[in-house]
Amino acid sequence: MNRSILKLAVPNIISNITVPLLGLVDLALMGHLDSQIYIGAIALGSVIFNFIYWGFSFLRMSTSGFTAQAFGEKNQTESITILARALIVALLVSILILILQAPIAWASFGIIGGSVEVETLANAYFRIRVWAAPAALSLFVFSGWFLGMQNARYPMIIAIAVNVANILLSLFFVFVLKMKAEGVALGTAISQYLGLIIALFLFFYKYKYLLVKISRKGIMNLGILIEFFRVNADIFIRTFCIIGVFTFFTSKSASINDTILSVNSILIQLLLFFSFFIDGFAFAGEALVGRFLGAKEISNLKRVIKLLFYWGAALAVAFTIIYLLGVNLIIKLLTSQPDVIATSQPFLIWVILVPVASFASFIWDGIYIGATASKAMRNTLLGATFLVFAPVYYFLYPIIGNHALWLGMILFMLARGIIQTFLYRKAILIQFDSIHKTTSAQKLAK
């Protein structure tokens, strides 16, 4: 079982690690220009796309969970139909984003705020990068589908290609063409379309034979569509809460001053850096939990969940040690601004606490996604957001300032893991028993 976990987790870690590296390179590019406002511009511009793309990341999550279950059932028709259905939704959503890009930008900057100089640069960044929406959302679908098909290698190939291209293009546009924030945005947009071309090539190379099995009736089946959108709606609310917390975090950082915005933008990258490592095991959980649920293998389901937590705990301890010993060095690699480095010092303790406080929430997310236990995920995030993060910030900010943002973030991550632990039996094991009994009854009826 450990071999199966690592076969899925390691490629996902390799592909995921290119994502935070890209964010770190973007910050480093802006951090070594002649003003800290460039760091803030990238941070604010990225927040908008986090809001948009994370908001529609249900396209990857639900596709992964549904496909893994179809794979476990050995239902090829449903597997390929899931892909077609999700790609249609991705195309419709991306067209809507492009049509509404002006009001989206206006509303986003009105909510987030920031200095005039930072907002002007961030707006230029947004106007270029938004044109990558069709490619970005389609890549969500392909990545989720490949993972559901127990193929973590293809998402790894796509992610590496996209992010290496992005880094090289950003370096070229910023340092050679002197484009600054606009260059980073253009590099991102071009690399997304490159990734979509690669995804299509890989699909046709290995899975072309499945195209004849697409069920048009299955795509438009009312019952399946209702379940598809119900799960996606729950995941959207769940993801919206996460986006809301991170957006609020950046917005309140910007409202303090540009230096705190730069500090928090750099430190939050270290949280994201850990998350992309631990998500390798969460993604393995999506594929294997969905597969064992589809195949109705309860013993393997329980065993893989236990092993995922062993791996997650070990990774959390390793990252705690790394951050404890090397966080100052990492910050100095990311920026040469003396005031940013000095201001960051009182807040380093929060970064050191991140791995142990958050690993369970990431592992549980993968398990719940694989089980398509979307209602429990939704309720967990609503509770962690409005009963933990928000009260901590509003009660403590007048007393401890920026520390309240970080304390709220740590407790938010911790609460997610605790709540999902308590909901596990009802949300997943009872669901499994229900599916098993329904299937057995159907076999007896036959």
Three-state DSSP state, 180: coil
Query: Residue 72 corresponds to which amino acid?
Result: G
Query: 130, 185 in Cβ contact below 8 A?
Result: no
CA distance 135 to 195: 8
CA distance 147 to 281: 12
Three-state DSSP state, 149: coil
CA distance 331 to 341: 7
Contacts of 250 (CB under 8 A, 6+ apart): 43, 44, 47, 112, 261, 264, 265, 268
The total number of structural domains in the chain stands at: 1
CA distance 191 to 139: 11
Query: 354, 410 in Cβ contact below 8 A?
Result: yes
Give the pLDDT of residue 7: 86
CA distance 12 to 86: 21
Contacts of 362 (CB under 8 A, 6+ apart): 275, 278, 279, 281, 282, 312
CA distance 148 to 150: 5
Say what the alpha-carbon torsion angle 137, 142, 147, 152 is, to the nearest 10 degrees: -110
Contacts of 128 (CB under 8 A, 6+ apart): 182, 185, 186, 189
Give the pLDDT of residue 18: 67
Give the pLDDT of residue 420: 94
Give the pLDDT of residue 37: 64
DSSP string, 324-393: HHHHHHHHHHH---HHHHHHHGGGHHHHHHHHHHHHHHHHHHHHHHHTT-HHHHHHHHHHHIIIIIHHHH
Give the pLDDT of residue 444: 33
Best CA proximity match to 298, nearest among 434, 443, 146: 434
Three-state DSSP state, 178: coil
Q: Which domain holds residue 251?
A: 2-445
Ordered alpha helix ranges (H), 73-215: 76-99, 101-112, 116-129, 133-148, 153-171, 181-207
Give the pLDDT of residue 33: 58
Residue 152 DSSP symbol? -
Give the pLDDT of residue 39: 66
Q: Which residues of the chain have pLDDT under 70?
A: 18-43, 45-46, 50, 111-118, 431-446
Best CA proximity match to 269, nearest among 9, 25, 3, 7: 25
